[in-house]
Amino acid sequence: MLSRHLAGVEGATRTRVQKWIAGGKVSVNGRVVMRVASRVAVYDAIAVSLPPLAPRREVVAADMPVSVLYEDAHLLGVNKPAGVVAHPTHAHAAGTVLNALAGYARAWPPGQRPSLAGRLDKLTSGVMLVAKTAAIHAALQRALASPTAGKDYLAVVYGRPPMHGIIDLALQRHSLDRRRVIATDTGGVPSRTRFERLALARIGRGTSLALLRCRLLTGRTHQIRVHLAAKGWPLVGDPVYGEPRWAGVEHDELRELLRTFPRQALHAWRVTFVHPVDGRRISIEAPLPDDLLLLRRYLPWS
pLDDT confidence of residue 229: 97
**101-126: pLDDT as tens digits:** 999 999 999 999 999 998 899 999 99
Top-ranked range on mean pLDDT: pick from 2-6, 13-17, 93-97, 162-166: 162-166
Domain 151-268, second-level architecture: 2-Layer Sandwich (3.30)
Q: Say yes or no: do domains 2-48 and 151-268 share a fold.
A: no
Q: How many CB atoms lie within 10 A of CB 132?
A: 23
Domain locations in the chain as residue ranges: 2-48, 151-268
- The yes-or-no answer on residue 185 being catalytic is no
Which of these is catalytic: 44, 63, 72, 121?
121
Question: Can you spell out the DSSP letters for 118-174?
Answer: S---TT-EEEEEEESSHHHHHHHHHHHHSTT-EEEEEEEEES---SEEEEE-EEEE-
pLDDT confidence of residue 13: 66
**123-140: pLDDT as tens digits:** 999 999 999 999 999 999
Average pLDDT, the chain: 90
Give the residue-averaged pLDDT of 261-277.
Answer: 97
The three-state secondary structure class of 18 is helix
Task: Tell me which CATH code domain 2-48 carries.
Answer: 3.10.290.10
